[in-house]
Structure 1
Amino acid sequence: MNFLAHLHLAHITDTSLAGALAGDLVKGPIGHLPEPLQQGVWLHRQLDSFIDGREEMAALKTLFPPRYRRTAGILLDMAFDHQLASHWHGYHDDSLGHFCRHSYRTLLADPQLPHSGRVLVSRMARGDWLGSYRSREGVALAVQGISRRLSRPQLLEGGERVLWQHHHRISAVFAELYPRMMAYARQRARAWPGAQGSTLL
C-alpha cells in the first residue's frame, strides 16, 4: 500500500497520520520515537506484512513481465491507491478532496513529523499527490518520480502500463482485500503493545 491507503487506515483507527507516513521513512528500531509515532510506524509495518503475505498479492505479481518482477510490489502499491481513490466513497464518508486537504494540514501541523516527512508532505501538498492517484495520469507521474530515484530506473519505467492491462483483475483483488485490511487495521490498532513492547521492532 502507498501513502493514501496508509493515511486512510490511520484515520479510521484514530492513530497518528505522521506515524503512518513515517512508516516509509523510519527503518530499524523505533524506541527513540514519541509513542504516537511508534504506534503509527508499528501499525504501518503490521499492515505491510499482512498485505505482502496474501496469496492474492503473490498471484498479481506473477502477471508482471520479468523486468518488473523486482518492482511489482511498488507498482501494486500505487495500483491500490488508485483503486482506493477511484472508489473513495465506498470507504470514507468525506470527499477525497476534503480528506487530502485535511491530511496535508494535519501532517504539516504535527511537531512529531520528522524533518524528512515534512519536506515530503510539502511536496505532496503542492502537487496533491494523494488526490492525483485517482487518475491514470497521476499514477504515471508517480511511477516516473519513483523511477528517477532508483539506481536502475528501467526496472520501473512504463510499469503502469502493466497495471492498466490487468486493471480488472487488480480491481477485483482490491475490492476483496481492502475491507479485510480495514478490519485488520482496527484489530491491530487495538492490540498495540505500547511503547515498551515495540522498542525492538
Structure 2
Amino acid sequence: MNWLAHILLSEPTVENRLGNLLGDLVKGKELDGLDIPLRRGVDRHYAIDKFTDTHPIFRISKHRIDKQYSKFAGILIDVIYDHFLVKNWSLYSDTIFTAFTAEISSSFRDYSGEIPQSARAVIDRMINGDWLNSYRYLSGVETALQRIDYRIAVRMGDRIKLVDAMPILEREYLSLDRDFNLFFPQLQHHILHWNNPLLGGVPNGRGG
C-alpha cells in the first residue's frame, strides 16, 4: 500500500503514523536507532505490506496491468489504490478527508523527535507538496508516478517510465476501483486484529 493508506491504518499517534512511513524510508542499521514508538509504526508498515502483497485481490489487480510493466505492477497498484481510498474515503474513515490530511501535516511538521535526516527531508517534501491531498485526482497519481520514476532511475538505473502506464490505469479504472473496495475492508480488519510483537501480542486498533 502507498502512504495515505499506511497513515490511515496507523494507530492515531504521530509516532505510529510517522513510523508507518519510515518503513519505506529507513533501512538497515538506522532502524535500530529508532525509538520504540516509531519502531511499532515500522512493524505495522511491514504487516500491512505482507498482507497486501500476498492477497489474491491485490494479485488480481496486478494482473490487470500490461505485461511490459509487470515488474512494477505492485507499485502502480499501490499508488492507484491511494486514489481509490480518497474516492471512497467516507466508507473507511469517519474523519473528513481534508481535516485528516491537515492534522497529519500539522503533527508531522511539529514533531520534534529524532528521525534520520534523509527521511525527514522526504516527509517535509510530502507536506510542502501536499502529496496526500493530490491523490484525489488522477493528475496527482501521475505526479506520484513521476516521482517514483525518478527514484527508480537513480537507484536502479531502470529506464522504464511508470507514468506511461497511466492509460492502463484509466482503462482499468472501474475494475481497479471494485478490486480496492473488496480488498481494503479486509486489510482494515486484519490490521485491527494484528498482534504487534513489540506489544507482547496485544491487538492494535487503527486511527482515522
Q: What is the CA distance between 1:31 and its match in structure 2? A: 4.0
* Mapped pair 1:174 → 2:180: yes
User: 2 CA distance for matches of 1:22 and 1:108?
Assistant: 15
Q: What is the CA distance between 1:196 and its match in structure 2? A: 9.0
User: 2 CA distance for matches of 1:130 and 1:75?
Assistant: 16
- Would you say how many aligned residue pairs link Structure 1 and Structure 2? 195
* Percent of aligned pairs with the same amino acid: 32
Q: What is the CA distance between 1:152 and its match in structure 2? A: 2.0
- Larger CA deviation: 48-57 vs 23-32: 23-32
- Aligned residue for 1:175, secondary structure, equals helix
User: 2 CA distance for matches of 1:173 and 1:12?
Assistant: 26
Whether the aligned pair in 2 keeps the contact of 1:18 and 1:40 (CA below 8 Å) is: yes
* Mapped pair 1:37 → 2:38: yes
TM-score normalised by structure 1 residue count: 0.88
Structure-2 residue corresponding to 1:133: 135
> What CA RMSD, in Å, does the superposition of the two structures yield over aligned residues?
2.1
Q: What is the CA distance between 1:124 and its match in structure 2? A: 1.1
What are the ranges of 5 or more consecutive residues in structure 1 without an aligned counterpart? none
Runs of 4+ in 1 over 4 A off after TM superposition: 11-15
What are the ranges of 5 or more consecutive residues in structure 2 without an aligned counterpart? 202-208
Whether the aligned pair in 2 keeps the contact of 1:10 and 1:40 (CA below 8 Å) is: yes
Q: What is the CA distance between 1:25 and its match in structure 2? A: 1.0
Q: 1:94 to 1:195 in 2, by over 3 A?
A: closer
Whether the aligned pair in 2 keeps the contact of 1:3 and 1:81 (CA below 8 Å) is: yes
- Aligned residue for 2:81, secondary structure, equals helix
Structure-2 residue corresponding to 1:159: 165
Amino acid at match of 1:87: N
Q: How does 1:1-20 map to 2 (within 5 A)?
A: 1-11=1-11, 16-20=16-20
Q: What is the CA distance between 1:109 and its match in structure 2? A: 2.2
User: 2 CA distance for matches of 1:11 and 1:176?
Assistant: 23
